[in-house]
Chains A and B, each alone.
Chain A
Amino acid sequence: MIGLLLGLPLLLDLVLIWGPALASIGLSFTSWDGLGEIRPVGLDNYVNIVSNYPPFWPAVWHNLLWLAFLGLVATPFGLFLAVLLDREMRFTRFYQTAFYLPVVLSLAVVGFLAQLIFSRDYGAANALLGRTDNPVDWLGDPSINLWSVLLLVGWRHVGYVMLLYLAGLKAVDPGLKEAAAIDGANEPQTFFRVVFPTLRPVNVIVLVITVIEALRAFDIVYAINRGRNGLELLSVLVTDNIVGEASRIGYGSAIAVILLLISTGFIATYLVQVFRREEDQA
């Protein structure tokens, strides 16, 4: 009984996650259409992807922009809101609710809602900016649609980050701040030199969430236009290569492995941080 209850989840984890993850690495060195024979091709898939697959570099660039935008704009803004809300007494519940309401929404739903706001001919954004005569195609124009999407993704990310930091700030010992104030530190000094360093565990979590969100991003662009025409992402390329008529298993796997390589460093950092802390406590 106990063996079964431990074995079943472990089996699911090994068979459905770790097995396929390793298989992806193996398949990335082969050429296979899913039906015929599997032919080892060495590094051909990787060479081909890097040198000869038009959507690859745009996708890498978009993923990086995604990461940069979430990390350098949305995350600091979330922290900023958390700091303000931590001090603010009145209406704080209203503010918090407004900011993290988007967190519960599915990104696919956000993608559909975006079309009403950003559509070229009748969208609210053009009406608001008075651009009805010379409308901007927010989601269709490949030079700007990524930014429209990032605005929406950031909208959701800010709330999430704010929530995590707010919880972290509430846990900071008020005595620390008082001591810093008595020592003559002004508020920014107190925050950056005293409070922020104690938020290190939250910082790590926020960093990992930001990276993972940026690398996993898929739903919203797929809901808007299936990730084409300016909205290419690595995750979309993986999906495109296995589902649909192409079925280039080895090729798709190689893109997935590239995604894995990018994320491994961050996953490892997180694990080291979390489990070392546990050792300290033990």
Chain B
Amino acid sequence: MSGDRDTQPVGRRNRRPVGPWRVVIRVFLWAMALGWLVPLLLPLYASLRPYAETAAEGYFSLPKTLNFDYYVQAWQGGNLPRHFLNTLLVAVPAVVLTLFFASFVAFLISRRRLPGGRLLLILFTAGNLLPQQVVLTPLYLMYTKIPLPWWMSWPSELVYDSYWGIIAIHVAFQTGFCVFVLSNYMDTIPRELIEAATVDGAGVWRQYWQVVLPLVRPALGALGTLEFAWIYNDFLWAVVLMSTGDKLPVTSALNNLRSVYFTDYNLLAAGSILVALPTLIVFFVLQRQFVAGLTLGANKG
């Protein structure tokens, strides 16, 4: 990294000769990037090959058989459709409620100068930073003591082992983060936009729904993508607050593919890839939103 290059005007950066350092950096980055993909590509490759073959020839061998048998087996044997549905039943309402509550609270704090708003913001932000284990024990006890009607929670008839309980704790935890991000984002909206609407006689609700919400749509998209991935990836809450195996979300259901006596790692890899697939798709389709979401919380102006 010789210093003389940077003394050149910025506009000419692209035309400068390729120096030896540049080659080293480029080779290094390529090696690193490819190395970074190995822990994903290797299981992908293995999941297409029978266990007997990889056991005999190793994972780094040319394939004799390539098929999707393991995917079929994981899909059916692991009862994955059921568990994917469970995850959606939790993640979709949780993300929608979180964004709705958080955007409204952020709106009150940021645009309506709610008395005590600052304290509220600190309360929400700090709550989101607590280690989950600190709330785990009392939460578990509380959930096992609060009854729900049978049509909301079967067979436990408790908040424990119900989707409602899992959704509630996700909303409680994630609202903290989203309030923080959204109120920062709203602080950047020009005051005149809101004031114009107020002159027109719009009430609080209309200001929120018709003026502010459309303005924060990019932030909502970014946060929604990120929150979906986070809630989808949750493992702890379901492990502790659910007991019926059939009701577990998909990340915690992967254990079904492992037996006590024998683990077929290629099958497990196929299952893992199936479970990772929705987040990978979200990542590739909504990459910009995902990245924006991660940096939105961190890089406020």
Interface, chain A (partner B; CB < 8 A)? 1-2, 5-6, 8-10, 12-13, 15-21, 23-24, 27, 34, 81, 84-85, 87-91, 94-95, 97-110, 112-113, 115-117, 119, 122-124, 127-128, 132, 152, 155, 159-160, 163-164, 167-168, 171, 174, 177-178, 181-182, 185-188, 190, 201-202, 205-206, 208, 212, 215-216, 218-219, 222-223, 234-235, 238-239, 242-243, 249, 252-253, 255-257, 259-260, 263, 267, 270-271, 274-275
A239 touches B7 (CB 8 A): no
Residues of A within 8 A of B37 (CB): 98, 101
A238 touches B138 (CB 8 A): no
A256 touches B136 (CB 8 A): yes
Residues of A within 8 A of B169 (CB): 16
20 CB-based A-B contacts, threshold 8 Å: A6-B114, A12-B171, A17-B135, A24-B134, A24-B137, A84-B25, A89-B13, A104-B279, A107-B233, A107-B235, A109-B272, A112-B272, A115-B263, A127-B60, A201-B299, A242-B137, A267-B129, A270-B129, A271-B126, A275-B118
Residues of A within 8 A of B141 (CB): 34, 249
How far does the Cβ of A249 sit from chain B's closest Cβ, in whole Å? 6
- B interface, over-half SS: helix
Residues of A within 8 A of B232 (CB): 106
Contact of A81 among B32, B133, B135, B172 (CB under 8 A): B32
**Which residue of A84, A112, A239 has the most chain B CB atoms within 10 A of its CB atom?**
A112
A160 touches B36 (CB 8 A): no
How far does the Cβ of A179 sit from chain B's closest Cβ, in whole Å? 11
How far does the Cβ of A90 sit from chain B's closest Cβ, in whole Å? 8
C-alpha gap A185/B130 in the complex (Å) = 43
**Which partner residue on chain B sits nearest A17 by CB separation?**
B127
A187 touches B133 (CB 8 A): no
**Which partner residue on chain A sits nearest B140 by CB separation?**
A242
A-B interface, 7 closest residue pairs, ranked by CB to CB distance from nearest: A106-B233, A20-B138, A23-B138, A98-B33, A186-B3, A20-B135, A9-B101
- 8 extra interface residue pairs, beta carbon distance < 8 Å, beyond A17-B127, A115-B263, A116-B59: A2-B108, A23-B137, A88-B26, A106-B234, A108-B235, A108-B252, A109-B233, A235-B131
Do A17 and B172 contact each other (CB < 8 Å), given the known contacts A109-B254, A164-B294?
A: yes
A202 touches B299 (CB 8 A): yes
Task: Tell me if B102 counts as interface (CB < 8 A to partner A).
Answer: yes
Residues of A within 8 A of B179 (CB): 9
Q: Interface with A: B150-158, B191-199, B215-223, B283-291, which one? A: B283-291
**Which partner residue on chain A sits nearest B5 by CB separation?**
A187
How far does the Cβ of B125 sit from chain A's closest Cβ, in whole Å? 7
How far does the Cβ of A101 sit from chain B's closest Cβ, in whole Å? 7
C-alpha gap A122/B6 in the complex (Å) = 50
Contact of B131 among A206, A215, A270 (CB under 8 A): A215
Task: Tell me if B295 counts as interface (CB < 8 A to partner A).
Answer: yes
**Which partner residue on chain B sits nearest A250 by CB separation?**
B137
Residues of A within 8 A of B39 (CB): 102, 110, 113, 117, 152, 155
Q: Which of B25-43 contact A (CB under 8 A)?
A: 25-26, 28-30, 32-34, 36-37, 39-40, 42-43
Q: Which of B140-170 contact A (CB under 8 A)?
A: 140-142, 144, 168-169
B36 touches A267 (CB 8 A): no
Task: Tell me if B14 counts as interface (CB < 8 A to partner A).
Answer: yes
A253 touches B137 (CB 8 A): yes
Contact of B36 among A98, A201, A252 (CB under 8 A): A98
Residues of A within 8 A of B138 (CB): 19-20, 23-24, 27, 253
